[in-house]
Amino acid sequence: MLLSELARDRGIRYFLISFTDLFGIQRAKLVPAQSIDDMAENGAGFAGFAAWLDMTPADPDILAIPDRNSLFQLPWKKDVAWMPADLYGVDGEPVLQTPRLILKQMLKQAETRGYLVKTGVECEYFLLSADNHEISDSCDRAAKPCYDQQALMRRYDVVSEICDGMLSLGWKPYQNDHEDANGQFEMNWAYSDALTTADRHAFFKYMVKSIAETNGFRATFMPKPFGNLTGNGCHTHVSIWDSSSKTNLFRETDEDLELSPLAYQFIGGILKSATALCAFANPTVNSYKRINSPVTLSGATWSPNTISYSGNNRTHMIRIPDFDRFELRLADGAANPYLLPAAIIATGLNGIEEKIDPGDRCDHNSYTDPLPPDKVRQLPANLLDALRSLEKNQVLQTAFGESFIASYLKLKYQQWDEYCNYITNWELDNTLNC
């Protein structure tokens, strides 16, 4: 069926052809239904320099080819449909800086080994007032607001509209809650293959922000918008299945083990490249105010500070909550929905290939009883440290391609330099009288 015919059947008047750039920003063109068939075949044209793609104004246009197999009809605006797109040059060659294509590349590498990667994400966000940097609910003041029933139901209209949207899209959402920070929420839906989850992750952020705006609020996934409160994580659950999608290869039949040897090797690869992985899992200056942060108002940050794994223990970078998957607790709300799983897969597959032993499991409380630095490696202290680690990491250089890593590092170093040139209020308060 042509997309124009589908549009007629579903009452769709416009299509958003959307791609996600290197900084995780969604770019789109709004295409009327009568023109969608041509756009679907030939692509919507964009000037690459206008997005974060490491291009110049002298470069030719790029073409966004939408994926009709991943179409989301906006639950709050039924006459519009959103489709994620892959970027190609006018010569038909793929644009190497496209995050969605990088994820597809990693999934293909897994497929050649007989693996199907499945993921699920837990996206945390704050609801703020529309016109200032304040929590939208003035009554949400509890020191431990996690699961607060009153605070949750005061935002019932927003939360239920988002959940209804996921239900209508067939995502199988199964719970919504008020999170550990005042004004913070989390919504969970069923896991799926990694590309489907990534597309849903990208659309979820757009949907949450849009529905929040229609209700008079502003939603943010910023890693650490408030210094004294828990930050926004993007906990990622990972499992590998056989190519038929019937057998979970991370599940262990031996009751003495949490996961299979394959899973531990995958974890070993992530731990080995963890500092470089942070460049994608924690991609902003602000990200490093969430990890390694001091105690928050609730008494815990719920974010890791060491490169370690554990059982059902939320104080470590990797948690093993069950016998069929692990949870990477490193990533935050700024993580690119496509580059995050791509980097996880790349480092994990390297662990399997090299049969990397993750070492002993850590069962201590890393917040109250931390191990000394000679016993456990620390996460990067800032974005610059993470970028320098990525620059030296051969695993991700090889998996993503040297040209992609070079483009990513170039733009991220520029961002770091811009931050360093900015004079903060802290500097003025503490050094103006020197």
Under DSSP, the state recorded for 81 is E
Interval 416-422 mean pLDDT = 97
Decide if 420 is inside a domain: no
* Residue 122 and residue 76 share a domain: no
Tokens of 278: 């942070």
Go through 308-324 and write b for each residue having 16 or more CB atoms within 10 A of its CB, e for each that does not: bbbeebbbbbbbbebbb
What Rg do the C-alpha atoms of the chain give, in angstroms? Answer: 22
How far apart are alpha carbons 17 and 385 in whole angstroms?
35
Residues 63 and 43 sit within 8 Å (Cβ to Cβ): yes
Q: What is the CATH number of the domain that holds 45?
A: 3.10.20.70
pLDDT at 173: 98
Decide if 238 is inside a domain: yes
Neighbours of 71 (CB within 10 A): 18
> Crossing angle of helices 99-112/339-353, nearest 10°?
30
Q: How confident is the model at residue 372 (pLDDT cuts 50, 70, 90)?
A: confident
Could you tell me the pTM of the whole model?
0.97
Domain of residue 34 covers 3-93
pLDDT at 258 over 90: no
Encode pLDDT of 327-362 as tens digits.
Answer: 999 999 999 999 999 999 999 999 999 999 999 999
* Residue 115 and residue 70 share a domain: no
Which of these three, 55, 70, 93, is where a domain ends? 93
* Residue 372 and residue 253 share a domain: yes
Under DSSP, the state recorded for 91 is T
* Residue 133 and residue 41 share a domain: no
Strand partners, 310: 319
Decide if 429 is inside a domain: no
Per the structure, the count of domains in the chain is 2
* Residue 118 and residue 38 share a domain: no
How far apart are alpha carbons 40 and 283 in whole angstroms?
32
Cα distance from N-terminal residue to C-terminal residue, the chain: 71
> Crossing angle of helices 383-392/274-281, nearest 10°?
120
* Residue 115 and residue 66 share a domain: no
pLDDT at 253: 76
Encode pLDDT of 59-103 as tens digits.
Answer: 999 999 999 999 999 999 999 999 999 999 999 999 999 999 999
How far apart are alpha carbons 314 and 349 in whole angstroms?
24
Decide if 432 is inside a domain: no
In 3D, which of 103, 93, 28, 10 has the Cα closest to residue 66? 28
Tokens of 1: 């069926």
Average model confidence (pLDDT) across the chain: 96
E-state strands within 156-297: 173-178, 184-189, 192-193, 217-220, 234-242
Phi-psi region of 14 (alpha: psi -120 to 50; beta: other; left: phi over 0): beta
In 3D, which of 101, 138, 343 has the Cα closest to residue 236? 343
Tokens of 241: 């299945």
